[in-house]
Structure 1
């Protein structure tokens, strides 16, 4: 007797998440085209997915940031500092590029603001006052009300305190972080269904003009990432090395960026970056630390995603943004990006933190996160390619720069 062919459900389970998201996206568009009335009823599926994201995001930020700080190793070599500086400079510069691009080419989204009160801040003074009050919020209240500024403050404070605890306590915290990450991955596995419901109901209700908004948003995101990869990063490397940076830039994009584009994981691309660093002749004691560190905190692509999507929500809601507030957003986006989760779409879950600067409530911010998942097939791949290739690029630039400096002074 011939074995039966795999069922459709089994085939879907065996396909990758990216393929499933594409299937959900196409199915949602097709349903909105063929049966608009039925498509409107799928809004509940999208609401469930958005609610699940709202549930996991606060505890994710709290546990991951706290565990990352608590388990940080003491006594790192001092030659890591130039690389760390380039990581932070590159991430902040990417956020600034995203702010400028978002103001030049503003994006509008289709968001549901019914029964949601939006209070726009009056300027940088009110933003800073709100920021300070959020920082000193009760930690339980911050978790319950998704006050991400307060969550981040308490996570940093607890992480610093637990660094002085015993090894067992820090190991337990690390295990808790792994457990929360597993739950987040489970929620994201339902992204294809959530995207199907969101796309179908949105297009059936608002028309296919919403797709144009998504295409414009994706163009701004990818344009910012290309500009950072081909203009901003080479400028930083030129400042460090004082020579043509493009041979090194293009090598890192080719050898590391292409692989990261398809793996969509900076952590999974660490072995590729280590091997490339070895072939570049870099010092092993340096790149063996800087490459894993870069996979955690060097997040230019994440800073772009957070900034562009946040400002898209701000523009949609008609909130005015002055220059000081834009600079503050760049700083917050850079800090958020450094704490982005290692799971696919992890940067999207930090958007509510940036949105809170403008008084945008969690209910609307999570709709923006859901939009991010819709365009995430390309956005997350491009983001990871930029992040991971820049790890090697800045490590090489700092190492070669320090070597040339030592030769000049010798």
Structure 2
């Protein structure tokens, strides 16, 4: 048994995950009643979501507590790249929606049951601020990552003057939580097999065909952002071929994020990727959880495309200034999207309100989003999460280039 385990662990995790995807899809078609297979996926995502808030809290707090005055930090660069990437994604989606206008049959889409959309940008900002001052223990329990980040920063800064023993304890706790996460991730192939089984056994081949044009536009925008916009941003910063880094982030982070459909659940995977790239843990232990909260290029694409699909369906004329405002609104809204599956969909009515579209119609677009969400949300999360690692690495590699250090790509 030990030899089998060692042989299994010697195989690349990505290869094992791909095998899980294929096997899960096959079983979804031929063994639709084997629900225990789907349970593996639910257990895997549940374990990741359970440990991720604790991991984020202790890693960010520990990193800030260990920070010494005068020590270099690239967080300003990282945040700038996050905001540029998110806005650029929203702009790409708006342009593509005008070049390839798509309409949908809103009458066939059921509004999301029990869903409650924000009433305006003011409500989104109010919610963000209230989440910041939410009870720290409650934030961890409820996976409120904005509150977790805020309180981790507060406690981390407060602990800078603490004793070396206290800082060492924080470091040991962070290491222990990280090791627990590695154990969970080692079961990723089985969990992802269960997730794929659930999707295929529930929706069948229809997950690849329904609402094809809308889905094609969404995925086309995301692919363009991933393979053109993001590499361009990387190139302008490190002045060398960006694609080895882009493809590594898509392979090591994007695939698992595609399956878990949660940027928050994929935080541990991104942390491991940054470690393998040789990045500074003091930087990425803060930037990766932050990216899972505010770096939402995929969400900006979803909000823009679905909102403009409603616009085209209703025959509303949109001028260029309004389209640019939509790009900005999509970027701001995306930053407030939740780090869990489907988090961007309830912000669609906010963008629709820019064009005077009623909430009833907007919520039907949300229903469309849930229908295509099996594929759309997976691709959105894959783009969001892989970009977190990509831009974190870009910011640090930019500094390395200035120092004359060789990049590991």
Deviations 1:86-123 (A, max 9, x none): 1110000000000011001011011249xxxxxxxxxx
The 1-side partners of 2:80 and 2:259 are apart by 28
Q: TM-score, normalised by structure 2?
A: 0.63
Q: 1:18 to 1:378 in 2, by over 3 A?
A: farther
Deviation at 1:270, TM superposition (A): 1.3
Residue aligning to 1:183: none
The 1-side partners of 2:36 and 2:369 are apart by 23
Q: Does 1:15 align with 2:38?
A: yes
Structure 2 counterpart of 1:358, from 338, 355, 360: 355
Residue aligning to 1:147: 119
Q: TM-score, normalised by structure 1?
A: 0.63
Deviation at 1:342, TM superposition (A): 2.1
Q: 1:287 to 1:148 in 2, by over 3 A?
A: same
Give the conservation status (yes or no) of the 8 Å contact 2:256–2:382: yes
The root-mean-square deviation of aligned C-alpha atoms, in Å, is 3.5
Give the conservation status (yes or no) of the 8 Å contact 2:118–2:347: no
The 1-side partners of 2:104 and 2:36 are apart by 31
1:159-308 mapped onto 2 (5 Å cutoff): 162=133, 170-171=135-136, 174=139, 177-178=142-143, 214-308=211-305
Give the conservation status (yes or no) of the 8 Å contact 1:109–1:213: no
The 1-side partners of 2:40 and 2:364 are apart by 20
Deviation at 1:225, TM superposition (A): 0.5
Q: Does 1:369 align with 2:341?
A: no
The 2-side partners of 1:178 and 1:276 are apart by 23
Q: Does 1:346 align with 2:306?
A: no
Deviation at 1:263, TM superposition (A): 1.5
Deviation at 1:405, TM superposition (A): 1.9
Structure 2 counterpart of 1:107, from 70, 94, 102: 102
Deviations 1:278-313 (A, max 9, x none): 111111101111111111111111110010000000
Residue aligning to 1:85: 80
Deviations 1:204-247 (A, max 9, x none): xxxx9xx9881100000000000001111000000000111011
Structure 2 counterpart of 1:323, from 294, 312, 320: 320
Deviations 1:19-44 (A, max 9, x none): 9xxxxxxxxxxxxxxxxxxxxxxxxx
Deviations 1:76-95 (A, max 9, x none): 97421101111110000000
Q: Which runs of 5+ in 1 are unaligned?
A: 1-7, 20-71, 114-142, 163-168, 180-191, 200-207
User: SS of the residue aligned with 2:135?
Assistant: helix
User: SS of the residue aligned with 1:268?
Assistant: coil
Deviations 1:355-388 (A, max 9, x none): 1111111111110011011111110111111111
Q: 1:102 to 1:257 in 2, by over 3 A?
A: same
Deviations 1:300-358 (A, max 9, x none): 11110010000000111111111111111011101111111122111111111111111
Structure 2 counterpart of 1:400, from 385, 397, 401: 397
The 1-side partners of 2:377 and 2:213 are apart by 16
The 2-side partners of 1:286 and 1:405 are apart by 17
Structure 1 runs (4+) greater than 6 angstroms displaced: 16-19, 72-77
Query: What is the number of equivalent residue pairs in this alignment?
Result: 288
User: SS of the residue aligned with 2:263?
Assistant: coil
Residue aligning to 1:97: 92
